[in-house]
């Protein structure tokens, strides 16, 4: 059974839809599954032409007759064209050792092997690398969120901060931090700051902005009428904050958290990429690329995506439980 | 004397030039009065109520609430204000919403339960304390917001079209309940409305206002008895007062 969306919001005049839940499993899983299947289909199709040149070369070395038989002549063909002339080679494209594009089951196999069959302290274990990335992600996220909330409170309550900090917060997002991240890491490294903290800094930088924007919006979401009501009670600013603004901002806060945590993860991975880091998802992606092990890159890529999805899912669950407890969600 | 306004002016400065929301308003409201403000939109009836509540500042003239300035009255928590929309906090139960002013005003915790039960009984919502606002109908939500305004026991109740968004049938019931509540609590009520029957049915004094500039065109002392069943609205006496209100509204329009 699916709950009727927004069923209870008819009575109030509140603009924000408190009851916007994605609680219906059947409704939300089916579209997602459809998209996943579509992507999988495209991927499976793409594997053939993407790998066909490599497969043909290898097959020829193994004594299979390939059309055309001159490697140079084959270069004139597109992947699709080559496949057209050599339909027998198609199965080989899915199990090629060093593919240009690995097939889904190869990636799944690599992930299974590096997640479940290796000791989690091993340098070959994706769990180990996952934790190396997750720790600075969480630390950076905490710093970014804390800073974001504080800034938002300042911006909402102080005209001076609204005029001075808010423009800078926006300008800060025009800096291509993904390009600057390596420099930041190198500069910090040269003054002896290494390991967890520089990566957390990038993660914090990327996550504070969505929190600031969301919280400013949330803290300002109470209507003029609700603010007037508090004025008739002669309530102080502090009382107004705890009684009205903060609870009213919670739905916005959770949305910000979900954007922020994924931004943090991206920040950490980017910070790992170019700096010779030896561990972490970013390092794995780079290592796989540099040493001709595409499976390693792809496995790390998917593990990172799954980690992000898990974190967002976690916050989704916390959000739902919290809002339901506060009576803001329909039963 | 609860409210005393003398030559009250309020001009809003807008981009289209000054708007005279109130001009030369004189009015006195006595202890225990039920005063309705009626007039077309833009006549300043809500603005006048907001001036009493210190939510707007007059630009001229004088006004006192309980003998002091509106600001002092607000600081002394001298009135309860009911807005057009219930505006209950979605994350608080009905009981929690009624406790809100008590918490803010620092009423001892021990008294909360008793006060909540008392005002819920006054608005006939006993048993709904633990419900969340979305579980109540629009009319019940508005009653809950009246209970919230009553919970800290101010002697003056300012109501800004509290039933404006509700349908006629619920409105009748709520009007009847409000009269009972007024008789039981002996509060002074200032009530903004745009419904002539509502104004005549509820009030001891009807203030007819007209726009551009917002001003009072007629003040009618009701001759109806204090005891008012809904059927009173068909008596000649009632109709006569309603007629005079209508005339006042029309006159305000003619020279406006």
Whether the Cβ atoms of residue A281 and residue A272 lie closer than 8 Å to each other: yes
E strands of chain B, at which residues? Answer: 3-14, 17-29, 34-38, 60-65, 79-82, 156-160, 188-193, 205-210, 215-221
Whether B53 and A223 lie within 8 Å, measured CB to CB: no
Q: Give the model's confidence band at A27: pLDDT under 50 very low, under 70 low, under 90 confident, else very high.
A: confident
10 Å Cβ neighbour count for A81?
13
> Which tokens hold the place of A270?
């980017």
Question: Does B106 score more than 90 pLDDT?
Answer: yes
- Spatial separation of the C-alpha atoms in residues A272 and A202, rounded to whole Å: 10
Whether B90 and A231 lie within 8 Å, measured CB to CB: no
Give A95-111 pLDDT, tens digit per residue: 888 899 999 999 999 99
- Spatial separation of the C-alpha atoms in residues A135 and B151, rounded to whole Å: 50
Q: For position A13, what pLDDT does the model report? A: 39
Question: Does A3 score more than 50 pLDDT?
Answer: no
Q: Give the model's confidence band at B84: pLDDT under 50 very low, under 70 low, under 90 confident, else very high.
A: very high
Cβ-nearest to B93 among A9, A239, A327: A327
DSSP characters over B43-82: SSHHHHHHHHTTSS--SEEEEEETTB-HHHHHHTT-EEEE
Angle (CA) B131-B166-A240 rounded to 5° is 55
Question: Does A22 score more than 60 pLDDT?
Answer: no
Q: Is B87 on the interface with A (CB under 8 A)?
A: yes
* A233 backbone φψ class: left, alpha, beta (φ>0; ψ -120 to 50): alpha
Q: Give the model's confidence band at A26: pLDDT under 50 very low, under 70 low, under 90 confident, else very high.
A: low
HSE-up (13 A, CA, CB side) for residue B118: 13
Pairing of strands B17-29, B156-160: unpaired
Give B119-141 pLDDT, tens digit per residue: 999 999 999 999 999 999 999 99
Whether B80 and A232 lie within 8 Å, measured CB to CB: yes
CA distance B15 to chain A (A): 20
- Which residues face B9 on adjacent strands? B60
- Spatial separation of the C-alpha atoms in residues B84 and B123, rounded to whole Å: 17
Question: Does A12 score more than 70 pLDDT?
Answer: no
**Percent of chain A beyond pLDDT 90?**
58
Question: Does A16 score more than 50 pLDDT?
Answer: no
Please, is A228 exposed, middle or buried when counting C-beta atoms within 10 Å of its C-beta (0-12, 13-18, 19+)? middle
**Phi, psi for residue A78 in degrees, rounded to 5:** -80, 170
- Spatial separation of the C-alpha atoms in residues A243 and A220, rounded to whole Å: 13
Give A311-326 pLDDT, tens digit per residue: 999 999 999 999 888 8
Q: For position B226, what pLDDT does the model report? A: 87
- Spatial separation of the C-alpha atoms in residues A258 and A249, rounded to whole Å: 15
Whether A228 and B81 lie within 8 Å, measured CB to CB: yes
Q: Give the model's confidence band at B54: pLDDT under 50 very low, under 70 low, under 90 confident, else very high.
A: very high
Q: For position B254, what pLDDT does the model report? A: 63
Question: Does A9 score more than 70 pLDDT?
Answer: no
Q: Give the model's confidence band at A24: pLDDT under 50 very low, under 70 low, under 90 confident, else very high.
A: low
Q: Is B92 on the interface with A (CB under 8 A)?
A: yes
Give B61-74 pLDDT, tens digit per residue: 999 999 999 999 99
Whether B88 and A235 lie within 8 Å, measured CB to CB: no
Looking at beta carbons, which residues of chain B come within 8 Å of A9?
A: 134
Whether B90 and A18 lie within 8 Å, measured CB to CB: yes
Q: Enumerate residues 6+ apart whose C-beta is below 8 A from B17.
A: none
Looking at beta carbons, which residues of chain B come within 8 Å of A232?
A: 53, 55, 74, 79-81
Question: What average pLDDT is seen over chain A?
Answer: 87
What does the DSSP 8-state code read for residue A4? P
* Closest residue, chain B, to A331 (C-alpha): B135
Whether the Cβ atoms of residue B124 and residue B143 lie closer than 8 Å to each other: yes
HSE-up (13 A, CA, CB side) for residue B162: 28
Question: Does B50 score more than 50 pLDDT?
Answer: yes
Whether B133 and A12 lie within 8 Å, measured CB to CB: yes
Q: Give the model's confidence band at A330: pLDDT under 50 very low, under 70 low, under 90 confident, else very high.
A: very low
- pTM of the model as a whole: 0.83
Whether the Cβ atoms of residue A243 and residue A230 lie closer than 8 Å to each other: yes
**Phi, psi for residue B14 in degrees, rounded to 5:** -115, 175
- Spatial separation of the C-alpha atoms in residues A216 and A234, rounded to whole Å: 24
Q: Is B103 on the interface with A (CB under 8 A)?
A: yes
- Spatial separation of the C-alpha atoms in residues B3 and B32, rounded to whole Å: 11
> Which tokens hold the place of B212?
């551009």
Q: For position A25, what pLDDT does the model report? A: 60
Q: Please name each of the domains of chain B with its CATH number.
A: 3-78+156-255 (3.40.50.300), 86-153 (no CATH)
Give the residue, A173 or A212, on which the prediction is more confident.
A212
Q: Is the four-CA dihedral B23, B28, B32, B33 of positive or negative sign? A: negative
Looking at beta carbons, which residues of chain A come within 8 Å of B70?
A: none
Q: Enumerate residues 6+ apart whose C-beta is below 8 A from B144.
A: B86, B88, B94, B97, B98, B123, B125, B128, B133, B136
Q: Give the model's confidence band at A331: pLDDT under 50 very low, under 70 low, under 90 confident, else very high.
A: very low
**Phi, psi for residue A158 in degrees, rounded to 5:** -125, 120
Cβ-nearest to B134 among A11, A225, A239: A11
Looking at beta carbons, which residues of chain A come within 8 Å of B79?
A: 232
Give B145-184 pLDDT, tens digit per residue: 999 999 999 999 999 999 988 888 889 999 999 999 999 9
Whether B91 and A230 lie within 8 Å, measured CB to CB: no
Whether B53 and A232 lie within 8 Å, measured CB to CB: yes
Looking at beta carbons, which residues of chain A come within 8 Å of B91?
A: 247, 250, 326-328
Question: What average pLDDT is seen over chain B?
Answer: 93
pLDDT (mean) for B40-49: 92
Whether the Cβ atoms of residue A152 and residue A219 lie closer than 8 Å to each other: yes
- Spatial separation of the C-alpha atoms in residues B63 and B57, rounded to whole Å: 10
């Amino acid at each position: 059974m699916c709950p009727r969306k927004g069923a209870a919001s008819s009575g109030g005049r509140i603009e924000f839809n408190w009851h916007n839940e994605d609680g219906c499993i059947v409704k939300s899983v089916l579209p997602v599954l459809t998209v996943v299947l579509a992507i999988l289909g495209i991927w499976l199709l793409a594997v053939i032409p993407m790998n066909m040149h490599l497969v043909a070369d290898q097959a020829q070395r193994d004594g299979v007759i390939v059309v055309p038989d001159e490697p140079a002549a084959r270069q004139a063909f597109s992947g699709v064209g080559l496949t057209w002339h050599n339909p027998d080679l198609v199965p080989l494209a899915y199990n090629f050792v060093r593919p240009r594009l690995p097939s889904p089951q190869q990636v799944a196999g690599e992930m299974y092997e590096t997640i479940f069959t290796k000791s989690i302290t091993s340098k070959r274990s994706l769990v180990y690398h996952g934790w190396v990335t997750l720790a600075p992600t969480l630390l950076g996220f905490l710093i970014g969120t804390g800073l974001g909330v504080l800034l938002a409170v300042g911006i909402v309550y102080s005209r001076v901060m609204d005029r001075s900090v808010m423009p800078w917060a926006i300008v800060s997002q025009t800096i291509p931090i993904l390009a600057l991240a390596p420099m930041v890491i190198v500069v910090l490294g040269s003054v002896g700051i290494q390991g967890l903290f520089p990566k957390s800094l990038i993660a914090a930088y990327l996550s504070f902005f969505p929190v600031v924007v969301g919280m400013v919006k949330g803290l300002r979401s109470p209507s003029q009428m609700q603010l007037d009501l508090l004025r008739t009670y002669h309530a102080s600013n502090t009382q107004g904050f705890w009684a009205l603004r903060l609870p009213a901002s919670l739905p916005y806060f959770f949305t910000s958290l979900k954007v922020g945590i994924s931004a943090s993860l991206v920040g950490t991975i980017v910070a790992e990429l170019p700096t010779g880091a030896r561990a972490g998802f970013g390092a794995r992606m780079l290592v796989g690329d540099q040493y001709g092990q595409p499976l390693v890159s792809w496995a790390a890529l998917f593990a990172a995506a799954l980690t992000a999805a898990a974190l967002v899912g976690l916050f989704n669950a916390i959000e739902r439980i919290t809002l339901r407890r506060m009576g803001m969600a329909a039963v | 004397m609860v409210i005393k306004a003398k030559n009250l002016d309020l001009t809003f400065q807008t981009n289209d030039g000054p708007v005279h929301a109130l001009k030369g308003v004189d009015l006195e409201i006595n202890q225990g009065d039920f005063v309705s403000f009626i007039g077309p939109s833009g006549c300043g009836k809500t603005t006048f109520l907001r001036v009493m509540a210190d939510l707007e500042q007059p630009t001229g003239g004088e006004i006192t609430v309980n003998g002091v300035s509106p600001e002092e009255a607000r600081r002394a928590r001298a009135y309860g204000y009911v807005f057009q929309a219930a505006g209950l906090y979605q994350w608080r139960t009905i009981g929690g919403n009624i406790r809100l002013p008590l918490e803010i005003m620092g009423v001892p915790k021990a008294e909360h339960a008793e006060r909540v039960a008392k005002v819920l009984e006054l608005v006939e919502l006993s048993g709904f304390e633990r419900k969340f606002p979305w579980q109540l109908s629009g009319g019940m939500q508005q009653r809950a917001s009246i209970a919230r305004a009553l919970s800290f026991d101010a002697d003056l109740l300012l109501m800004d079209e509290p039933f404006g968004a509700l349908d006629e049938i619920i409105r009748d019931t709520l009007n009847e309940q409000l009269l009972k509540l007024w008789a039981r609590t002996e509060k002074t009520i200032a009530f903004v409305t745009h419904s002539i029957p509502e104004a005549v049915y509820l009030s001891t004094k009807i203030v007819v206002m007209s726009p551009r500039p917002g001003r009072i065109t007629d003040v009618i002392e009701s001759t109806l008895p204090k005891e008012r069943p809904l059927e009173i609205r068909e008596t000649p006496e009632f109709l006569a007062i309603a007629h005079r209100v209508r005339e006042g509204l029309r006159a305000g329009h003619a020279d406006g």
